[in-house]
A = this chain, B = another copy of it.
Amino acid sequence: MSTVGTEKSVREGSLEKRKAILAAARDLFVRQGVDRVSMDAVAAGAEVSKRTVYDYFGDKRRLFLAILTDASQSLMATACRALDEHLPEGAQITTVPQLEKAFTALAIDLGTSIVGSADYAAGFALVAQERLRTPTTEDDIATVVVEEAFAKRIADFVDAGLLDTDNPRLAADHFFALTILLAYNRQPVPANPAPDKVRQSMIDGAHAFIRAYATR
């Protein structure tokens, strides 16, 4: 029912099931919290025997960590793609309105990715959940890399005379705060999407950012 093989029938095992387990566990963990989800529930959700879950991941903790790195990578990929798509290296952007347009598009892209896919929200929510609990907090999601890259672009626009700041990293933080962070804070659960509201949040946030940081 679930495992519609993209490959015909060669090897629907292993990777396929691994993915299913990760997805099921991620959804359950995000929705109910790690502690309240039993491994039986995970197994049931993935339509897999509990024993298989343990054979694959060995441990609830390790399953959780696998989800975390999975979500982290997925998030990174999405964010980097969006960055390259909307703010490519070869900058044809020469005016502030063009810049606002690009930033808005970027924000909307990221925002809808959050709402649409559970991966990002999962990363956020799970890290938030676990950041409190695990003393070993170097499993943190690598938002930093993306933010650094984004800060780099901002620095470029500063050099180009479109933006005005002596602290691009801070500007990047403010952009994320005004868009994704705010939207996420308004609606952490990716259940009721309300994509229009998210979209509007992104437009507003990008606009505020431009007003704050554009040269005048």
Do B188 and A177 touch (CB < 8 A)? no
**A residues 174-196 with Cβ under 8 Å of B?**
174, 177-178, 181-182, 185, 188-189
- Enumerate chain B residues within 8 angstroms of A33, measured Cβ to Cβ: 33, 35, 129, 132-133
What does DSSP make chain A's interface, helix, strand, loop or mixed? helix
- Enumerate chain B residues within 8 angstroms of A132, measured Cβ to Cβ: 30-33, 125, 188-189
The answer to the question of A216 belonging to the interface, with a C-beta cut-off of 8 Å to chain B, is: yes
* From B181, B182, B212, contact of A211 by CB (8 A): B212
- Enumerate chain B residues within 8 angstroms of A30, measured Cβ to Cβ: 132
Cα distance A173–B30 when bound, in Å?
25
The answer to the question of A170 belonging to the interface, with a C-beta cut-off of 8 Å to chain B, is: yes
Cα distance A5–B209 when bound, in Å?
52
Copies, count: 2
Cα distance A173–B208 when bound, in Å?
11
**A residues 7-35 with Cβ under 8 Å of B?**
30-33, 35
**A residues 125-159 with Cβ under 8 Å of B?**
125, 128-129, 131-133
The answer to the question of A109 belonging to the interface, with a C-beta cut-off of 8 Å to chain B, is: no
Do B205 and A174 touch (CB < 8 A)? yes
The answer to the question of A61 belonging to the interface, with a C-beta cut-off of 8 Å to chain B, is: no
Chain B proximity of A32: nearest CB distance (Å): 6
9 additional contacts, CB 8 Å, given A32-B133, A33-B129, A132-B188?
A: A177-B177, A177-B178, A177-B182, A178-B178, A208-B212, A208-B213, A211-B211, A211-B212, A211-B213
